[in-house]
Amino acid sequence: MFEYAPAPESRKLVTFQSSYGHFIGGKFTKPSNTYQTISPATEEILAEISTATAKDVDLAVAAARNAYEKVWSKLSGAERGKYLYRIARIIQERARELAIAETLNNGKPIKETRDADIPLVSAWFFYYAGWADKLDYAGLGVNPKAHGVAAQVIPWNFPLMMLAWKIAPALAAGNTVVLKPAETTPLTALLFAEICQQAGLPDGVVNIITGFGQSGADLIAHKDVNKVAFTGSTGVGRLIAKQVAGTNKKVTLELGGKAANIVFDDAPLDQAVEGIINGIFFNQGHVCCAGSRLLVQESIQDELLKKLKKRMETLKLGDPLDKNTDIGAINSKVQLDKITKLVKLGVKEGGEAWAPNCEIPKKGFWYAPTVITGVAPTNTVVREEIFGPVLSVLSFRTPAEAVAKANNTPFGLSAGIWSEKGSRILKVADQLNAGVIWANTFNQFDPASPFGGFKESGYGREGGRHGLLAYLKGDN
């Protein structure tokens, strides 16, 4: 009786060019070696994108080096900061356009790009703009230095947000950058190139090259790169860590995760349910810090799962541009196949998969929000990062058991704790081997708050003063 009529966001605000070159030295190159980028929700072709060759990488790094030597390193921090403030403002002005573009190219709901991704993008530039003239207070002594040229390779799950996390601190610290967005989600990075032009950013300070894994590998391996920042899979992170061995390149890696979301029997239950939902279904679970392992105290397991399933039935899956959509499209066929395969394996290993009844659109890539129960720490779905809307449920009896199970993974990016008992939260937070702990909340991000992992989830932090350190060197 009270069904929500479609409420699609208008696409009129966004115009993509039919094809894009790379953004090098302040200008777009002629498109070459192109491939098509699509909307994963409809499989509609949005634009033709160039694939960077080793030569393109050379040109981009040379442009960044030139801009570093001749312009950017000579500017005062205050002046660099002003450019960042300008960029932040332009992002705010073009926020809705960027949100729509992101939703089109990524498949995530407009609700998220409008209310989370893009506001965080401008917030990130604002935050680091203010650091540019205060580097003496960063914690590396007086007058710390930039590294020079930063090579940055980012994933497809938060395309523009990841760009902001990389570019804002790099520029504030005085580096110039060459950034490569993921092959499936290049469009907002290319719109960002236009924003750099609108902001009058000196040519070559920001360079964007597009392409596949090889382009990224060429960029990271480039001899004239001083700093490498990568966000993506642990597998690729490993290759990068090997590749930079023996060089002087400073590296930060933001890799995979398999976060435990621990619910104690004294938790604020309704908020815990929201936290679980937000933890694993936000952005279709394409989140490295997703709370993909629910650890629930056995005494409240039935009650919690009942509430959780009921809540999952209210999730709306469908057109990402619809303002009421909660679950959008899976970003690619490749990712969809991976999720499907892992869940099948989970069921084969004895797990019971449950998903609410939801209509799956005919075109595009989709996966219904899923809970897997009846699994144990030994099961594949409990150990491997699925990177999709799939929650595995484990139970525990005591706080010590919860901590042991939570830490029983090579990853260590994030974790959640739900309890109304302060001293328990503090103790468990101490014991968890994870870089970000959300207690009675989940998936919160802020430019002032450092983010990054322990163990195989990578090293270095993004956000806050700590995030700045990755782009600076002082006297050791």
- Residues 189, 159: contact at Cβ < 8 Å? yes
> Is the CB of 286 or the CB of 455 nearer to another protein?
455
Min dist. Cβ of residue 10 to another protein (A): 12
Residue 202 or 450: the one with the smaller Cβ distance to another protein is: 450
Residue number with CB closer to another protein (28 or 230): 230
Residue 222 CB, shortest distance to another protein, in Å, is 18
Task: For the CB of residue 392, give the shortest distance to another protein in the complex, in Å.
Answer: 23
Q: How far apart are CA 42 and CA 371, in angstroms?
A: 26
The set of residues, in sequence order, having a beta carbon less than 8 Å from that of 314 and lying 6+ positions away, is none
Query: Quick one: 183 or 254, whose CB is closer to another protein?
Result: 254
Q: CB 240 → another protein: shortest distance, Å?
A: 8
Q: Which is nearer to another protein, 104 or 253 (CB)?
A: 253
Q: How many CB atoms lie within 10 A of CB 96?
A: 16
Name which of 31 and 155 has its Cβ closer to another protein.
155
Contact of 279 with 261, CB cutoff 8 Å: yes
Residue ranges binding another protein (CB under 8 A): 1-7, 111, 115, 123, 139-140, 234, 237-238, 241-242, 245-246, 253, 255, 266-271, 274-275, 306, 314, 323-324, 410, 412, 420, 425, 429-430, 434-441, 444, 446, 448-452, 454-459, 461, 464-466, 474, 476
Q: C-alpha distances in angstroms, 289 versus 84, 156, 261, 349, 450?
A: 27, 14, 10, 25, 13
Residues forming beta bridges with residue 176, ordered by sequence position? 149
- The catalytic residue among 9, 102, 196, 288 is 288
The tokens describing 291, both together, are: 């709370």
Length of the chain: 476
Structure token pair of residue 100: 């729509």
> Is there a contact between 326 and 315 (Cβ–Cβ < 8 Å)?
yes
Q: Taking the complex as a whole, how short is the minimal distance between the CB of residue 48 and another protein, in angstroms?
A: 33
Task: Determine the angle formed by the axes of helices 159-173 and 118-131, rounding to 10 degrees.
Answer: 10
- Residue matched to tokens 């099948």: 344
Task: Report the DSSP pairing between strands 458-459 and 250-254.
Answer: antiparallel
Shortest separation between residue 58's beta carbon and another protein, angstroms: 24
Please name which of 220, 219, 285, 284 lies closest in space to residue 258, comparing C-alpha atoms: 285
Which of 9, 102, 183, 254 is flagged as catalytic?
A: 254
Rounded distance, CA 226 to CA 211, Å?
21
- Judge whether 254 counts as a catalytic residue: yes
Query: Would you name the residues annotated as active-site residues?
Result: 254, 288
